[in-house]
């Protein structure tokens, strides 16, 4: 059975599939379990934005390092992969996101091409 975590977001509700097979907690009457066909969703204790807070410092650090290169790239592409994990207390007690990223730097060499064509 698939496990989903329900995150609230500024844009609405987001359901994220949980990678690991977590045992379902015993809900209290005030807790909310949502059944979507064969999928069970549990409500996250934090917002989706809060779970993604780890991305901003990584993106800022990458941007600052790329800008400080001796020959800054003409194009920078950063791809983020995010793995959501949750911890269980009585229901969802905490959540986090593990981030991996791929950085691609491209140089057009337009200035070098201009200099070599004028010589």
Domains of the chain, residue spans: 3-118
pLDDT at 9: 75
User: What is this structure's pTM?
Assistant: 0.49
User: Which of 28-42, 69-83, 102-116 shows the lowest mean pLDDT across its residues?
Assistant: 28-42
pLDDT digits (tens, 9 = 90+) for 16-29: 776 555 554 455 45
When the pLDDT of each residue in the chain is averaged and rounded to a whole number, the result is 69
pLDDT at 95: 47
Identify the helix (H) or strand (E) that includes residue 86.
Answer: strand 75-88
pLDDT at 89 over 50: no
Better pLDDT: 39 or 54: 54
Answer whether 70's CB lies under 8 Å from 105's CB.
Answer: no
CA-to-CA distance for 3 and 36, rounded, in angstroms?
10
pLDDT at 62: 87
pLDDT at 32: 53
Better pLDDT: 24 or 69: 69
Better pLDDT: 64 or 80: 64
CA-to-CA distance for 25 and 23, rounded, in angstroms?
6
Both tokens assigned to 92:
């969802």
């Amino acid at each position: 059975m698939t496990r989903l975590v329900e995150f609230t977001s500024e844009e609405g509700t987001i359901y994220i599939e949980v990678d690991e097979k977590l045992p379902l907690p015993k809900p209290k009457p005030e807790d909310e379990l949502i059944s979507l066909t064969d999928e069970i969703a549990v409500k996250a204790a934090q917002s989706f934005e809060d779970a993604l807070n780890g991305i901003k410092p990584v993106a800022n650090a990458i941007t600052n390092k790329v800008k400080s290169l001796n020959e800054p790239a003409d194009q920078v592409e950063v791809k983020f992969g995010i793995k959501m994990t949750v911890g269980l207390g009585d229901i969802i007690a905490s959540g986090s996101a593990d981030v991996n990223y791929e950085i691609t730097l491209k140089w057009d060499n337009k200035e070098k091409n201009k200099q070599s064509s004028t010589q």
